[in-house]
Structure 1
Amino acid sequence: MKSRIPVVLLACGSFNPITNMHLRLFEVARDHLHQTGMYQVIQGIISPVNDNYGKKDLAASHHRVAMARLALQTSDWIRVDPWESEQTQWMETVKVLRHHHSELLRSPPQMEGPDHGKTLSPTPAAVPELKLLCGADVLKTFQTPNLWKDAHIQEIVEKFGLVCVGRAGHDPKGYISESPILRMHQHNIHLAKEPVQNEISATYIRRALDQGQSVKYLIPDAVITYIKDHGLYTKDSAWKGKSTQSAEGKTS
């Protein structure tokens, strides 16, 4: 039986609010890595961004973490981690990766998880690889001047690795070929394809909620209930009108 490399997937972003598309990113990425025959995905981590990210219409982190927890009640391998959201300042993505990497070194997760009925054998006593999970829209932001530090991009793709799920209107292979750093480390960038077009965005969800439209089947029912109970994403929400700042592209 061929040993597989254990992998933990980390998604950093606003999750404002978490949507079914965010959850699908994990499922698609896991399927892709398993199909390579090299990897076993043993855990997924959702890391909501700190309130000081400065993004307009960003709900308070405790709400975003709570909604993610509710959305993940039906998952037995993805969890939400509040560490990034609890820091005193906004954290660059590479620093979040460093934190979780050190946590894996200190206490590796159990080698278990769904495998679609197939027996997957991870390398004995291996420390899991930590890979950043993102959509192709985030990969594109690597090209935006003054948004990401080149040293950070290099550390992400060289030390950790990327799993990028394609989105309509994006050309991830093109983004890689246009970037010397990404091109140099393209062996550590996995491009996964979503077989079902899924263009649900948190921006659309917020707009629909603001206009009183239904978002059922776009986000988990438990999240819809939470939003209603706490009066989030409405015209009268207290977080309306926050200023923005220049910060790395993150999953919305």
Structure 2
Amino acid sequence: MIPSKKVVLLACGSFNPPTNMHLRMFEIARDHLHRLGHYTVIGGIVSPVHDSYGKKELTSAAHRCAMLQLALHNSDWIKVSEWECNQDGWLPTRQVLQYHQNQLNAAIKSTETPKKRQKCQDNENETDWVMNAVRHCSNNDIIHVKLLCGADLLESFGTPNLWQNDDIETIVGEHGLVVITRNECNPYKFIYESDLLTKHMNNIVIVTEWIKNEISSTKIRRALRRFESVKYLIADSVVDYIRNNMLYTTFDTR
């Protein structure tokens, strides 16, 4: 019997604000990978983008991280990594994946036992996402960090000048993608039409989202500007945080 690959799912993005769909992606992906029979998902990481990304209406990383921590309060396997948004500027996704992969590799290769490693890293205030992923691993285990994304991100690989080919090669070839289907996107057709993606298609897992959920942060912000209810679309604790900090109240004047 072939041993299953231990996988950590990493999602990058604005999370402005984080919606229930952002979190559902992790659950959908984990279920699918486990059904395939040769993957074991041992952790999930959410990495908010740096403030300098320059996206319209992007609230500060401090607020976005705080909202994510609230939204994930009850999750025992998805954690927030603040490393990306704490850097000096925006970083390409390739570097974010490589950093988290390197950190997990270093933790796994530690000569300490998992219990001693836990105590040592707790004393050094190590980030939660590291210990969450390696808590059940031995020193001989290999962890694969894969990029979790929607089909719209996959198709953005075809947008001229948006991605470097070397970055796509590394992201798909060395790490791999777990792609959640979206309405009006055909990831299979897009992969077929791309020589680079076809080359690494064995490292791309397409996950069909049968229970369609088109919640987006853009629609949430619009509803908030109009003082409309967003209950059951985002976590109640995040709704309270947004109201208490008066976020997303400026009207779009376009």
Shorter-chain TM-score: which interval? 0.7 to 0.9
Corresponding residue number in structure 2 for 1:233: 248
Equivalent residue for 2:134, pick from 98, 110, 118:
110
Query: 1:4·1:123 contact (CA, 8 Å) conserved in 2?
Result: no
Structure (1/2) with the larger helix percentage: 2
1:2-151 aligned at under 5 Å gives the runs 3-108=3-108, 109-110=133-134, 112=136, 125-151=140-166
Establish whether residue 221 from structure 1 lines up as the match of residue 221 from structure 2.
no
Residue ranges of structure 1 left out of the alignment (5+ in a row): 113-121, 242-252
**Cα deviation code 1:98-122 (max 9, x no counterpart):** 100110111143354xxxxxxxxx8
Matched-pair contact (CA < 8 Å) for 1:104–1:127: no
Letter in 1 for 2:134: Q
Identity of aligned residues (%): 50
What displacement does 1:197 show?
Answer: 0.4
**3-state SS of 1:196 partner:** coil
Cα drift, residue 151 of structure 1: 0.6
Distance (Å, rounded) in 2 between the aligned partners of 1:51 and 1:73: 23
Cα offsets for 1:81-132 (capped at 9, x unmatched): 00000011101000001100110111143354xxxxxxxxx89821210100
* CA deviations over 1:55-94 (Å, ceiling 9, x no partner): 0000000000000000001110000000000011101000
CA distance in structure 2 between the partners assigned to 1:33 and 1:123 by the alignment: 21
Letter in 2 for 1:170: C
| RCO higher in structure (CA 8 A, sep ≥6) | 1
- The answer (yes or no) to whether the contact 1:6–1:111 under 8 Å persists in 2 is no
Alpha-carbon distance between aligned partners in 1 of 2:96 and 2:2, rounded to the nearest angstrom: 32
**207, 210, 215: which is aligned to 1:200?**
215
Summarize deviations over 1:14-53 as a string: whole Å, max 9, x none.
Answer: 0000000000110011011101110100000000000000
DSSP 3-state at the match of 2:72: helix
Q: What's the C-alpha RMSD, in Å, of the aligned pairs?
A: 1.6
Whole-Å separation in 2 of the counterparts to 1:35 and 1:107: 28
Assess if the C-alpha contact under 8 Å between 1:5 and 1:123 holds in 2.
no
**How much has 1:214 moved relative to structure 2?**
0.4
SS in 2 for 1:3: coil
Runs of 4+ in structure 1 deviating by more than 2 angstroms, as ranges, are: 108-112, 122-125
Q: CA deviation at 1:194?
A: 1.3
Gaps of 5+ in 2: 109-132
CA–CA separation in structure 2 for the residues paired with 1:77 and 1:2: 25
Does structure 2 retain, via aligned residues, the 8 Å contact 1:9–1:41? yes
Q: TM-score, normalised by structure 2?
A: 0.87
Matched AA of 1:74: N
